[in-house]
Chain A
Amino acid sequence: MSGAVIREIEIAAAHDGVAELIVTLEFDNGGRSLVTLDEVAAGKLLELHGTDDPAELPGTSWTYVRDALAASSGRYAAAAE
């Protein structure tokens, strides 16, 4: 998993009628996995990567996706307090 990178990004329609970002991760062995990010997580992904251009994301480490998802889910914990 250590070498997994973002390979592609794509916009998709979520069940509730909002747009979401689909990130394709490619692993060392060539396998691919899809991760769905909502607007908050996608914004965090760009912020963590230090860019405002999603075209720059392919080729970068999967850890940005992990951290963006962690930050996004953190808002739920904050809301629950």
Chain B
Amino acid sequence: MYDLVIRNGLVVDGSGLPAYTADVAVSGDSIARIGKVAERGAREIDAEGKVVAPGFIDPHTHFDAQMLWDGYAKPALSHGVTTIVQGNCSLSLAPLKPDHRMRLVGMFNQIEEMPLKAFREGVVWDWETFSEYIARIRKGLAINVAPLVGHSVIRLWVMNDAATERTATDDEIEEMKAVLRECLDAGAVGLSTSYVDMDEKLQPVPSRYADAREVDALASVLGEYGRMLQIVPEFYDPDLTIARLDQLAELSLKYGIPTTFSPLFVNADNIDAVDRVMDRVDEQFARGARIWPQVQTRPIDISFCFAVPSLLFIRLRSWYQIMRFGSHDEIVGALKDKETRAKLEAEAGELAPLWPTLILRQVKTDANQKYVGKTLGEIAEMRGTSPVAAMIDLSLEEDLQAHFLSSSMGHDNDEKVGGLLKHPRVHIGASDGGAHILSFSTYGDTGYLFGHFVRDLQAMRIEEAVKKITSDTASIWGIPDRGLIQAGMVADITVFDPKAIDRGAEKFVQDVPGDGSRYVRDSLGVDTVIVGGGVAWSADKGYQDQRGDVLPGARAEAPELMAAE
């Protein structure tokens, strides 16, 4: 008898080859047989009409803190994600000396919006080294974690306060190399660094004080292991981005390492520039370098409340002037003043199509909770008023803390983004899962990929999309035994309904330690998520088995040269 049999599913095996109908049998943590399975399983899943795919791998997350209190990385796992790469953008939670804890907490708070209170009330600081951190998160681990070690924390470990003051000495660089080796030996999947991030004092993070010889020296250590270098380039400037990826290419060629940069997204300011960046990516791949750009699937939304000035209003002179220069009381006074309000409402007519589409995302009062998630058009109808009047009224009722969202304001050119997602040298990722938790939801990008680009737009075949976020990702990162539905592979499997998979509506929930809140999205159309042969989540029973592992693990070898096209 098998431990688990998934019957009659449409197997999309992660290779990109055409789907086929079969049963999938699991013994222990591995896929035992694919085909017609006569034997029964201790547990059986009816997958008729559903896709049976390898578990999805998310290469760009910041779950480092959340993993300390939530081994499921909720709700990422429920979206079918079975492996996360954390520690991106130069920031990991280890190695970390006790004296540096609050500095790093400040960076996580600034960059990832992880509340200070969550660290105070959700974290027992019982680790210093990378291996101690890994041992810590192994307890209750339900999702697989491939942890990057952050360049900023290695620098802090070696240089202390000087990490944000100067370049490193030769001795310090040698010490950093030794620390990086320890981290890689302990299970790190690579090193992350950043050229843009700021700390809580709005100073550059430690990695930004490194000179080229320091980065070169650390890349040489990655070369000993064939491991990944992830960077955040100056993504807002295409010329600087291209310069950075040229540097990455040299390191990739010199040390034989894979590299990746994130984010690359399509915006009003860079539609042509994205083509230039991709041309250079293609040129560098042709030289033999591996410089994988990470592209997110979801569009970028703009959110705002009247307490903070937003450039969304810059073309509305009266609005912007009040928001930009008014104190809290002056803004409230202006919105309450009949004459001023009439002027504002008249001026708002310039953007008439915008207002009914805005979504109310968050309020403080119980009375207005019933409107959350609705558009201003819908709320106006419920209240018998106009969308602009509803926005003003809600803002006053919430003491300016009514938060609104204008959806799909960037990275929303479907033709361009769809083309990028299909590109053989684009790495689908950059979800930022676990980060920006007070600004927007970073979960559900895989649902959006299948719902929007595969099902609605038919911009990709489902086999292509699955391959992109499973076997390609495993190959790029050198994660063995995962990313394919094949006998002998580890049984990380996602079963989903191709007609229903999507991301749910964004919602604000209070589930962060210390009474903290965050934006999340539920999964839609995902049926069962299996990690290491155990059912980690199912739509009917929720979160279950905890069989996650730390990857790449002992069986890993150096990453392959290139993912198959």
Interface positions of A (Cβ within 8 A of B): 10-22, 34, 36, 39, 42-43, 52-55, 75-76, 79-80
Complex Cα spacing A39 to B324, Å: 9
Complex Cα spacing A75 to B314, Å: 21
B453 at the interface (CB under 8 A from A): no
- Residues of A contacting B315 with CB < 8 Å? 11, 54-55
Nearest B residue (CB) for A54:
B314
Question: Do the beta carbons of B410 and A12 come within 8 Å of each other?
Answer: yes
25 chain-A/chain-B pairs, Cβ below 8 angstroms: A11-B311, A13-B300, A13-B301, A13-B409, A13-B410, A15-B265, A17-B301, A17-B439, A18-B310, A18-B311, A19-B304, A19-B310, A21-B311, A22-B269, A34-B270, A34-B273, A36-B236, A42-B314, A43-B324, A52-B317, A54-B314, A75-B202, A76-B203, A80-B202, A80-B203
Given contacts A54-B315, A55-B315, contact A19 B202 (CB under 8 A): no
- Residues of B contacting A15 with CB < 8 Å? 235, 263, 265, 300
Q: 7 tightest CB-CB pairs across the interface, nearest first?
A: A13-B410, A13-B409, A19-B311, A22-B269, A13-B300, A79-B202, A12-B268
Interface size grouping (class) on chain B: 35 or more
Interface positions of B (Cβ within 8 A of A): 198, 201-203, 235-237, 263, 265, 267-270, 273, 300-304, 309-312, 314-315, 317, 320-321, 324, 409-411, 436, 439-440
Question: Do the beta carbons of B314 and A16 come within 8 Å of each other?
Answer: no
Known A-B contacts: A18-B302, A19-B304, A19-B409. Give 10 more (CB < 8 A): A10-B268, A10-B269, A11-B315, A17-B301, A17-B439, A18-B304, A36-B236, A42-B311, A43-B309, A80-B201
- Residues of A contacting B301 with CB < 8 Å? 13, 17
Given contacts A18-B302, A76-B202, contact A13 B309 (CB under 8 A): no
- Residues of B contacting A10 with CB < 8 Å? 268-269
- Residues of A contacting B273 with CB < 8 Å? 34
Residue from A17, A53, A55 with most neighbouring chain B CB atoms (10 Å): A17
Complex Cα spacing A42 to B309, Å: 11
Given contacts A17-B303, A19-B304, A54-B315, contact A12 B440 (CB under 8 A): no
- Residues of B contacting A12 with CB < 8 Å? 267-269, 409-410
- Residues of A contacting B304 with CB < 8 Å? 18-19
Question: Do the beta carbons of B202 and A39 come within 8 Å of each other?
Answer: no
- Residues of B contacting A20 with CB < 8 Å? 311
Question: Do the beta carbons of B302 and A19 come within 8 Å of each other?
Answer: yes
Complex Cα spacing A43 to B317, Å: 12
Q: How far is the CB of B502 from chain A (nearest CB, A)?
A: 21
Question: Do the beta carbons of B324 and A79 come within 8 Å of each other?
Answer: no
Nearest A residue (CB) for B113:
A16
Question: Do the beta carbons of A39 and B310 come within 8 Å of each other?
Answer: yes
Q: How far is the CB of A75 from chain B (nearest CB, A)?
A: 7
Question: Do the beta carbons of B269 and A34 come within 8 Å of each other?
Answer: yes
Complex Cα spacing A8 to B269, Å: 11
Q: How far is the CB of A13 from chain B (nearest CB, A)?
A: 3
Question: Do the beta carbons of B201 and A17 come within 8 Å of each other?
Answer: no
Nearest A residue (CB) for B299:
A13
Q: Give the contacting residue for B303; candidates A18, A36, A39, A54; CB below 8 A.
A: A18
Question: Do the beta carbons of B201 and A79 come within 8 Å of each other?
Answer: yes
Question: Do the beta carbons of B439 and A16 come within 8 Å of each other?
Answer: yes
Complex Cα spacing A80 to B314, Å: 29
Complex Cα spacing A12 to B311, Å: 9
- Residues of B contacting A34 with CB < 8 Å? 269-270, 273
Complex Cα spacing A3 to B163, Å: 41
- Residues of A contacting B411 with CB < 8 Å? 13
Complex Cα spacing A67 to B198, Å: 22
Question: Do the beta carbons of A17 and B310 come within 8 Å of each other?
Answer: no
Q: Give the contacting residue for A21; candidates B201, B263, B270, B314; CB below 8 A.
A: B314
- Residues of A contacting B267 with CB < 8 Å? 12-13, 22
Complex Cα spacing A10 to B410, Å: 12
